[in-house]
Amino acid sequence: MYKSISAIKRNARHLSLDNFVCRRVLVKSGWKDISREVCLEDSDVDAIADIVTKGCRVDTLRRVRTALRNLDDIDSAGILSRLTYDKRHGWSYVAGQDYTAEMRTLRKVLIVGV
């Protein structure tokens, strides 16, 4: 079981926001649990919020940041797996066909739930 975000980032084969919500991560030796005590660092919250709330109102930014600090309140959704972490590039979003609509859906999942 992983108890620090730095160890998760260092050892994960693929890391997405959904991994933190589901509390499981794939490493070289297989799937491992993430401790409930592990939360996103402020730099992670800021980076994800910047991606998801670009062009939004301040209130939306505040609500997304609050949601990201309370991962247990977020329901797992497939769109969360598109927010990925890469050791070289940090957090990014892998867009499908309609980036704008996907950002709207992503904000809804984070703020309201599925």
- Please list the pLDDT of the chain residue by residue as tens digits (114 residues): 888 889 999 999 899 999 999 999 999 999 999 999 999 999 999 999 999 999 999 999 999 999 999 999 999 999 999 999 999 999 999 998 999 999 999 999 999 875
Which pLDDT score, from 0 to 100, does residue 110 have? 95
Residue that the structure tokens 């497939």 belong to: 78
Number of compact structural domains in the chain = 1
Which pLDDT score, from 0 to 100, does residue 50 have? 96
Which pLDDT score, from 0 to 100, does residue 114 have? 56
d(CA 46, CA 98): 23
d(CA 114, CA 109): 5
Question: Could you list the residue range(s) of the whole structural domain that residue 104 is in?
Answer: 5-111
Whole-model pTM? 0.91
DSSP 13: E
